[in-house]
Amino acid sequence: MSGRTDPLAPLAELDGVAAAAKAAQDAVFAVHRHRANLRGGSATAAEASVRAARASAAVEGADPDIPEEGAVSDPVLAGALRVAEATESLLPTWRRAPLQALARMHVLAAADLTADPDSLGRPRPADGVASRLELLAQLTTGATGVGGPVLTAVVHGELLTLRPFGSADGVVARAAARLTMIATGLDPKALTVPEVACFRRLRRYQAAAEAFASGEPDGVREWLLFCCEAFETGAREATSIADAAAGS
């Protein structure tokens, strides 16, 4: 970053954002110190991953219930679960080549949603999509020094705005945000479930995303504050998962 202007620095300086980001980070770090997670956290992370996928699918109007027997029939939920299962393997690619990771996530998320398999993993040829995806890739690979909460929110909001693939874009956006949480150290063990806030506060989530898409400072601030609240909600969800694990 030496000698270059950080493109996201002004966002971190918007009123209330720094305090909200710190509160979010503190809440997530507290979950990592829970006794159930100090022993490793693999079981609680696995449960968090499934809850995240179910909530993400539900945001899109899918049935989030997983049948006790047989395969998942809802194509959106099935895709979200496939992406969730691939998160760990996608992390190295996300760190070095995020556009490849996005393409792979779309293949997994939208496999049952399109009749044109050749479109899977390929961004829409609309004006500005390729260039904005490239900028987003630069941000996730070191072009900004802002903290995890702000960068995660920007990745999430930008992908919702761009709708880069034309199908399963919401699922991909939330999965990319999850990878960013891990990669930035905001939630390195992927224990939290901010996706539940997106589902439980769906109208506010949609309104905040539209505000971000406007590009206006107040709209971007609204989105960043919503995301920081969602991180705290996700931390509370993670605490309930850890409490159950500790009591079992």
Question: What is the DSSP annotation of 4-63?
Answer: S--TTHHHHTSTTHHHHHHHHHHHHHHHHTSHHHHTT-HHHHHHHHHHHHHHHHHHTT--
For residues 152 and 24, give the distance between their C-alpha atoms in angstroms, rounded to a whole number: 12
Residue 137: domain span: 9-247
- pLDDT tens for the chain, 248 residues: list them: 444 789 999 999 999 999 999 999 999 999 999 999 997 789 999 999 999 999 999 999 999 999 988 899 999 999 999 999 999 999 999 999 999 999 999 999 999 998 888 899 999 998 899 999 999 999 999 989 999 999 999 999 999 999 999 999 999 999 999 999 999 999 999 999 999 999 999 999 999 999 999 999 999 999 999 999 999 999 999 999 999 998 85
CATH number assigned to the domain comprising residue 92: 1.10.3290.10
Structurally, how many domains does the chain consist of? 1
Q: Is residue 39 part of a domain?
A: yes
Q: Is residue 3 part of a domain?
A: no
For residues 184 and 190, give the distance between their C-alpha atoms in angstroms, rounded to a whole number: 11
Length of the chain counted residue by residue: 248
Q: Is residue 159 part of a domain?
A: yes
- Of the candidates 141, 99, 139, 137, the residue with the CA atom closest to the CA atom of residue 121: 99
For residues 168 and 4, give the distance between their C-alpha atoms in angstroms, rounded to a whole number: 35
Structural contact between residues 53 and 59, judged by C-beta atoms closer than 8 angstroms: no
pLDDT score, position 2: 45
pLDDT score, position 248: 59
pLDDT score, position 127: 86
Q: Is residue 1 part of a domain?
A: no
pTM of the model: 0.96
Structural contact between residues 161 and 213, judged by C-beta atoms closer than 8 angstroms: yes
Q: Is residue 2 part of a domain?
A: no
Q: Is residue 86 part of a domain?
A: yes
